[in-house]
Amino acid sequence: MTENDDRLIEQFFKEASAQQIADDGFTERVMSSLPDARPSKTRQLSRLWTWFCIFVGGLMFFLLNGWESLKASVLAILNTMFTSLSVMVTTAPTTDLRLDPVLLLLLLAFVLIVLPYQTARRLSTTL
């Protein structure tokens, strides 16, 4: 069945490609009015400025001990997160709420890992 479908699709496109549509030179006029494909001077300067800023930012990160600040921030975030989770896990059985700690951890992992990944993937496909 797929071979028949492939043959029909191929025949359809073969007939469509043989068809000529008169446009009175419209296509040529449009193609000639399109901007040049070479990058402009402004675009080249913009790229140079971007690379310069990245270089200076990276240099400042290393010179101002950015790794220590980044490490301290990540450790503080993880410490707060694990402390909150431990308090929640220890107090959840004493409340009337029926909370499963494993389900809460899975939900937290979904919110912190899966959702940002999917959002970044969708943004990268649209850009």
Separation CA 85–CA 69 (nearest Å):
24
pLDDT digits (tens, 9 = 90+) for 26-81: 888 888 888 776 777 888 899 999 999 999 999 999 999 899 999 999 999 999 98
**With 70 as the cut, is the pLDDT of residue 19 above it?**
yes
Task: Reduce the DSSP state of residue 34 to 3 states and report it.
Answer: coil
Name the strand (E) or helix (H) holding 3: helix 2-18
Separation CA 109–CA 117 (nearest Å):
12
Question: ∠98-101-107 over CA atoms, to 5°?
Answer: 100
Q: DSSP code of 96?
A: S
Separation CA 85–CA 112 (nearest Å):
14
**With 80 as the cut, is the pLDDT of residue 101 above it?**
no
